Chain A
């Protein structure tokens, strides 16, 4: 809504900036020996995922890189650049599918000669990149994609890391939130985008609900096509089954359209919406989402990030640059960049030396580092996968101001399967070993 106020000159400036970036990329191919720490940043700059995920992520990367190069971050990241070396970011578009992304990745590594790659919103892209990262022996951080298969399919990964959480955590956390705040709900329903993300999310949610809310039943499930935009029939089908909860893993424009249409038709008054990615549109709902709608941020990110020195600095810097609060994809990008800086400075190399990919990997594998979202433990997938807690809360809009109330947090050990156990097995066995406060 705020975007409607944007002026043509703003877009002109953006266009000129994009051209400048493109020109920089074009001349950067021969700059591998320029002494800078070159990082490939891959996220959606076009297509439907650009607005909700890619642009906030790219913006976060720009804020972080600029501030790190000036040594403006709070401790323990107050050293200039990465290990004293100036950072040069090469930001490219994730759009185009997995095959194109593999080509782009090879280009980044072999022609642009990046020292590390951070990227990937799409799980399909993550799965395609992981074996190539191993082949090219390039230190790579998956910052957002949620597929649990990333390390299940690449169990011997040496160079691939993920500083965000996998999708199972979202849905186990969502059910735990319901069990904690609405233990008497019995009529559950769901609407998911009809591809692996939506189907996997629903499978995890329903399996967890069967264990944690044993009296509940699934009264309706809908799987419309991704980017469909119009959900009239699906909302009717859900409405007539009178659910108490409507779970959705929708994201981006689809999620915003669903909330708008379902709220206008009273579905979200009669039932409580539960959106696992809901925080990404926190700033845009305004009075078009009902108070009490449950939203998540796929971890302690965005509006759920804690009040620590790093996050306070990040929120201030991001808001100053873009006049918007950072949403969860922005926080996740910031976390990945801090993870890279930590890896480099924990690699045991001399000051102002660029570590090798192997040294970067050893610097972060199984480590614990501080981030904008709190403490991150690389405690799963042989030290390659982050483990953190997750928080859910209820959207509340009053006096033209949005907030999140009734927040409940669950520790990483409460929502993450133990090492070597898949989420499906862990849920089916009733969450053995879960440590919930």
Chain B
């Protein structure tokens, strides 16, 4: 019984983290049709920015602990905004209209550049910002003790998911964005500034990636390569849910999170396999993913 409870709690926590990581990736693909290989680097930049800022804050004993949570979010917003604008205006804008495969290669090149840039800026030694993680304490569920920070992450993830949904479905800007998703050419013909929508979308995606990194930073040692590790998982989640679908990313994250937690508790030897096992099963029956839409190709 304890193990079942643990699976539900661990699965939910892991799923919420996966959703945070995958949301930006799927938003960018949904609107811009760019499979952004550099998304993991945005995650890492968010983690480094947050760890640097929060570490500086605590090392200098500047103020109360609750401000560090604002710093985490603030670091992600600033880092995501700056990097997003630079990459979109300085690189991707020159490449729009090219083949999707070429965009994959371009963003892969960007990933390599950003990985080295991070080493130049932050070096290769680990960064820590653990205070926000430990400050919230823990909650006991019988034998199981769970970090309150991790539990809070579930709430943050849910709020973020609902916020994204509401923005897309309930605001004028969201409606315009959906028009771009459905048919870019018609949207242009109707007077939509598609380039501006692309900039907004890309910056939103990079900021979501940076936010995922920033919120993860307090629980880990921020070291080179962390972005590359998460990108594979993020791809698995969005492929299961259907590329470009926010709801799909949420369901995909839940499926992967719960499956992995069950494997860790009941069959640890399958832990590595289970994520990709779920992905293979979904793709075998729905190649476009659970919430992906089959689209006719324009000739």
Q: Which of A74-82, A216-224, A304-312, A405-413 contacts B (4 or more CB under 8 A)?
A: A216-224
Q: How far is the CB of A31 from chain B (nearest CB, A)?
A: 28
Q: How distant is B148 from chain A, measured CB to nearest CB, in Å?
A: 9
A54 CA to B129 CA in the complex, in Å?
Answer: 23
* Chain B 258-294 per-residue mask, 1 if CB under 8 angstroms from chain A, else 0: 0011001100110110000000000000000000000
Chain A residues with CB below 8 A from B87, complex form: none
Quick one: given A54-B124, A239-B144, are A233 and B119 in contact (CB under 8 Å)?
no
Is A225 close to B, CB under 8 A? yes
Q: Using known A-B contacts A5-B56, A232-B10, A261-B219, determine if residue A50 contacts B124 with beta carbons closer than 8 Å.
A: yes
Contact B126 A52 (CB under 8 A): yes
A234 to B14: give the CA distance in the assembly, Å. 11
Question: What DSSP secondary structure best describes chain A's contact surface?
Answer: helix
A22 lies within 8 A of chain B by Cβ: no
Give A49 Cβ to nearest chain B Cβ, in Å: 9
State the CA gap A223–B211 with chains docked (Å): 29
The answer, yes or no, to whether B195 is at the interface (CB within 8 Å) is: no
Instruction: Report the bound CA distance from A52 to B225 in whole Å.
Output: 14
In the bound complex, how far is the Cα of B216 from the Cα of A46, in angstroms? 22
Residues of B within 8 A of A50 (CB): 124, 224
Known: A1-B128, A4-B59, A284-B126. A260 touches B221 (CB 8 A): yes
Q: How far apart are B55's CB and chain A's nearest CB, in angstroms?
A: 3
Contact A46 B128 (CB under 8 A): no
Which chain A residues in 223-255 approach chain B with CB under 8 Å? 223-225, 227-230, 232-234, 236-237, 239-240, 242, 252-254
Q: Would you call A227 and B229 a contact (CB within 8 A)?
A: yes
Which residues of A lie under 8 Å from residue B13 when comparing CB positions?
A: 232
User: For chain B, which range describes its interface: under 10, 10 to 19, 20 to 34, or 35 or more residues?
Assistant: 35 or more
Give the complex CA separation of A24 and B55 in angstroms.
35
Give the CA-CA distance A194 to B271 in the complex, in Å. Answer: 10
- Closest approach, in angstroms, between the C-beta of B143 and any C-beta of chain A? 5
B145 A229 Cβ-Cβ under 8 A: no
B88 shortest CB reach to chain A, Å:
25
Q: Is A14 an interface residue (CB 8 A)?
A: yes
Interface residues as binary, B77-119 with A (CB distance below 8 Å gives 1, 0 otherwise): 0000000000000000000000000000000000000000001
| Contact flag A257-B260 (CB < 8 Å), given A222-B268, A242-B143, A264-B133 | no
CA distance A3 to B123 in the complex (A): 9
| B219 contacts A230, C-beta separation under 8 Å | yes
Q: In the bound complex, what is the Cα–Cα distance between A5 and B2 (angstroms)?
A: 43
Q: In the bound complex, what is the Cα–Cα distance between A197 and B290 (angstroms)? A: 38
Is B272 a contact partner of A47 (Cβ separation < 8 A)?
Answer: no
A228-B126 contact in complex given A46-B119, A239-B144, A240-B2, C-beta closer than 8 Å = no
A229 to B213, CA, bound (A): 12
Q: Do B265 and A237 touch across chains, with their CB atoms under 8 A apart? A: yes
Contacts of B192 in A (CB 8 A): none
Q: Which residues of A contact B10 (CB under 8 A)?
A: 232-233, 236
Q: Which of B14, B220, B222, B226 has the most CB of A within 10 A?
A: B220
Kindly list chain A residues whose C-beta atoms are within 8 Å of the C-beta of B127.
3-4
Report chain B residues within 8 Å CB of A284. 126, 128
Docked Cα-Cα span, A6 to B55, in Å, equals 11
> With A45-B124, A252-B223 given, is the CB distance from A1 to B59 under 8 Å?
yes
Whether A240 lies near B6 (C-beta < 8 A) is yes
Across the interface, A256 reaches (CB within 8 A) one of B6, B126, B143, B216, namely B126
Least Cβ–Cβ distance between B226 and chain A, in angstroms: 6
On whether the beta carbons of A264 and B138 are closer than 8 Å, the reply is yes
A79 to chain B, nearest CB (A): 34
Minimum Cβ distance to chain B for residue A238 (Å): 10
Which residues on B sit within 8 Å (CB–CB) of A240? 2-3, 6, 143-144
Residue B121 interfacial (CB < 8 Å): yes
List B12-28 residues whose CB lies under 8 Å from chain A: 13-14, 17
The answer to the question of A266 belonging to the interface, with a C-beta cut-off of 8 Å to chain B, is: yes
Chain B residues with CB under 8 A of A254: 221
B173 on the A face (CB < 8 A): no
- CA gap between A215 and B221 in the complex, in Å: 36
Task: List residues 1-36 of chain A with CB under 8 A from any CB of chain B.
Answer: 1, 3-6, 8, 11, 14-15
Closest chain-B Cβ to A372's Cβ sits at a distance in Å of 22
Chain B positions within 8 Å of A51 at CB level: 124-126, 223-224
Which residues of chain B in 121-161 are interfacial with respect to chain A, using CB atoms and an 8 Å cutoff?
121-130, 133-134, 138, 140, 143-147, 149-150
A residues in contact with B261, CB < 8 Å: 233, 236
Decide if A265 is an interface residue (CB 8 Å cutoff). Answer: yes
* Interface residue? B120 (CB, 8 A): yes
| Contact, CB under 8 Å: A55 / B2 | no
Nearest to B11 among chain A residues (CB) is A233
Max chain A Cβ within 10 angstroms of own Cβ: one of B17, B145, B260: B145
Q: Which residues of B contact A8 (CB under 8 A)?
A: 121
**When the two chains form their complex, are residues A266 and B264 in contact, meaning their CB atoms are under 8 A apart?**
no
Q: Are B6 and A237 in contact (CB under 8 A)?
A: yes
Is there contact, CB below 8 Å, between A260 and B219?
Answer: yes
Min CB gap A288→B, angstroms: 6
Give the most central of A194, A223, A265: most B CB within 10 Å: A265
B254 sits at the interface (CB 8 A): no
- A225 to B133, alpha carbons, bound, how many Å? 23
B57 closest partner in A (C-beta):
A4
Cβ distance A281 to chain B, nearest Cβ, rounded Å: 8
Chain B residue with the shortest CB-CB distance to A222: B268
Interchain CB contact (< 8 A) of A229 among B122, B130, B220: B220
Cβ-neighbour of B55 out of A4, A227, A233, A256 (below 8 A) = A4
A185 is an interface residue with CB less than 8 A from chain B: no
Q: How many Å lie between the Cα of A240 and that of B140 in the bound state?
A: 12
Residues of chain A within 8 A of B130, CB atoms compared: 260, 264, 288
Q: Is B51 an interface residue (CB 8 A)?
A: yes
Please name the residue on chain B nearest to A269 by beta carbon.
B145
* B136: nearest chain-A partner, CB-CB: A264
Q: Check: B243 CB closer than 8 A to any chain A CB.
A: no
User: A3 CA to B126 CA in the complex, in Å?
Assistant: 8
Between-chain CB contacts (< 8 Å), 24 pairs: A1-B128, A3-B126, A4-B51, A4-B52, A4-B55, A11-B121, A50-B224, A51-B223, A55-B124, A222-B271, A223-B269, A227-B225, A227-B226, A229-B220, A229-B221, A229-B229, A233-B261, A236-B261, A237-B3, A239-B6, A242-B143, A261-B219, A284-B128, A288-B130
Question: Which 8 pairs from chain A and chain B are nearest by CB?
Answer: A4-B55, A256-B221, A253-B221, A253-B223, A233-B10, A233-B264, A50-B124, A266-B145
**New A-B contacts (14) at CB < 8 Å, excluding given A236-B6, A264-B149:** A3-B125, A5-B56, A11-B121, A11-B123, A46-B124, A51-B126, A227-B225, A230-B17, A236-B146, A237-B3, A253-B220, A253-B223, A256-B221, A266-B138
